[in-house]
């Protein structure tokens, strides 16, 4: 069965001006089909032919209910509220501060290492000096962002 416009059982009862219980009894007797708790507007038209469906106000109300329900679902699932966004931003800002502090610490450690290599250079023999100079030059280039 192909379903047209589906509306919730409570909304259908409200639109028709009948009790929800009346619609539930029709469903239980098999006189009204449902799909995931909703009823088809076309089936309601067949069941309640005396209702003035040409009036347009009922169909407008159905369309309005469907559009606002969809918009609410999209807003709730896709667009987090301002408080949630503020909370996420605060966490990201704190994470960024931690990572910046860590990067600064690593840079200081590497600069201190370069200074120690320079101090060792003064106390070493010629062969070791050459190796320490190469190591220190490589370290400084890397710290300055040069890819070697």
- Supply the angle between the helices 57-78 and 9-16 in degrees, to the nearest 10: 150
Cβ atoms of residues 39 and 7 within 8 Å:
yes
More confident residue, 84 or 74: 84
Please name which of 68, 20, 12 lies closest in space to residue 45, comparing C-alpha atoms.
12
pLDDT at 43 over 70: yes
Query: What confidence category does residue 54 fall into, taking pLDDT thresholds of 50, 70 and 90?
Result: low
Q: What is the pLDDT of residue 56?
A: 58
Q: Do 29 and 47 form a contact (C-beta atoms < 8 A)?
A: no
- Predicted local confidence at residue 1, as pLDDT: 43
Of the two residues 125 and 77, the one the predictor is more confident about is 125
Query: Domain map of the chain by residue range?
Result: 6-78, 82-143
Count of residues in the chain: 148
pLDDT of residue 55: 54
Higher pLDDT, 143 or 128: 128
147 pLDDT band, cuts 50/70/90, is low
Decide if pLDDT at 51 tops 60. yes
Confidence of residue 136 (pLDDT cuts 50, 70, 90): confident
> Mean pLDDT in the chain?
80
Residue 95 has what pLDDT? Answer: 92
């Amino acid at each position: 069965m192909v379903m047209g416009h589906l509306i919730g059982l409570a909304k259908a009862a409200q639109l028709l001006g009948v009790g929800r219980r009346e619609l539930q009894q029709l469903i239980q007797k098999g006189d009204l089909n449902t799909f995931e708790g909703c009823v088809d507007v076309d089936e309601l038209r067949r069941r309640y032919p005396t209702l003035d469906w040409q009036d347009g106000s009922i169909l407008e109300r159905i369309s309005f209910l469907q559009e606002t329900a969809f918009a609410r679902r999209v807003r709730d699932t896709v667009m987090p509220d301002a408080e949630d966004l503020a909370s996420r931003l605060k966490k990201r800002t704190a994470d960024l501060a931690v990572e910046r502090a860590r990067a600064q610490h690593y840079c200081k450690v590497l600069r201190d290492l370069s200074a120690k290599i320079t101090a060792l250079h003064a106390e070493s023999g010629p062969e070791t000096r050459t190796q320490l100079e190469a190591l220190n030059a490589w370290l400084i280039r890397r710290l300055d962002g040069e890819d070697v």
